[in-house]
Amino acid sequence: MTLSDTPGPQATILIVDDQEQNLQVVGTVLSMMGHEIIPASSGEQVFKRLASHMPDLILLDVLMPGMDGLEVCRQLKADARWAAVPVIFLSAADDKNLIVQALECGGVDYVTKPFNKAELVTRVRTHLALKQARDQLRDLAEDKDELLGILTHDLANHLAGTQMITTLLQKHLADMPAKCTPMVENISQSTSRMLTCVREFLANQSAERLRVRPVPLNLKSLIDQAVARQTETAAAKTITLAIDPLPPDLNVLADQEALAQVLDNLITNAIKFSPAGSSVTLGATTGPREWAHFTVRDNGPGFTEDDRGKMFKRYGRLSARPTGGEPSTGLGLSIVKRLVESMNGRIQLDSEAGQGACFTVRLPVAPAEAAGQP
């Protein structure tokens, strides 16, 4: 079997080498396999080629004058447009340290010169197949998420309609036979639980797709708004929402939508696990090294050591149970952790069983000259 008979997907391959002979040798071998070849003779020329072509694979010489291959690879991986394109390094230097550097900066493989044609063809075919598999998996995941999103969104609408009907029925229970009362109440509770689960699932899907754009935000203003949104929920359980004195000029670098969702989830979670008649308290301070901290404290049952290991995992089931019979999907805290970390922050839990819980979120402080309002 000749190289031209070698099966495999046809692809666009960008070959980068400052030696014209190497470009010709590699280009000839790969073009015989049916691939489209785009040559570039320098690191600077790579980005000119990328402006008009999107390759499936990049073969990149390590040692080039001007911008070397390592720097080219770093810039490629730092740009979302090309970060997913696999890079195979080519070099005459069989230096282990150089190989390590090449792989650490984002390369998927390393081929030494002079080339063994069969080896080069095999490496190229392997990484093209891997990229094709990754692309297919990504497309399947996107299709799955889109389908689930549509189904759950429609389901949420239907459940909301059912909930509205049961609310109307509850107002007219006196006009119905006594045996209807438990049935209506059962429908109402079941619908409420299902609607909560669907809404948390949709919130999780939204968090996964959210493009976080940190900007200066006033933390006091965001906390005040979050407390106002949750006051009615807290009042339904006779729980008091309290705010410690907050620095009025404390500004953080965060995404407004993401931080609002973090605050809402932490507050509703505290309300859910707190007994009736207790309180949930929010506070905020500046910390060392230009960090801001805000806390959400409750007087609930707290969490065990076993809980800590699965606290932020999706669908994690904890020992503590909601005090008012509210549904719990195990998604809320996993969403919080994902969003906080996407804003370059950290979250931690301080709690002992029976002693309540305190969640602390750390976020970067915004520069004083960039202070802003949400």
pLDDT digits (tens, 9 = 90+) for 5-64: 444 558 999 999 998 988 999 999 999 988 999 999 998 999 999 989 999 999 999 988
Residue 320's pLDDT is what?
Answer: 65
pLDDT at 280 over 90: yes
pTM attached to this predicted model: 0.52
Q: Give residues with Cβ within 8 angstroms of 27, minimum separation 6.
A: 15, 37, 39
For CA atoms 108, 112, 113, 115, the dihedral sign is negative
Residue 148's pLDDT is what?
Answer: 67
Write the single-letter amino acid at 317.
R
pLDDT at 261 over 80: yes
Residue 7's pLDDT is what?
Answer: 47
Residue 371's pLDDT is what?
Answer: 47
Residue 30's pLDDT is what?
Answer: 92
pLDDT at 372 over 60: no
CA atoms within 13 A on the CB side of 171: 5
Residue 151's pLDDT is what?
Answer: 64
| Residue 75 to residues 69, 80, 90, 136, Cα–Cα distance (Å) | 10, 10, 17, 26
Residue 3's pLDDT is what?
Answer: 46
* Contact yes or no for 98/63 (Cβ under 8 A): no
Most confident residue range from 62-66, 200-204, 367-371: 62-66
* Contact yes or no for 292/285 (Cβ under 8 A): yes
| Mean model confidence pLDDT for the chain | 83
- Residue 138 pLDDT class (50, 70, 90 cuts): confident
pLDDT at 322 over 50: yes
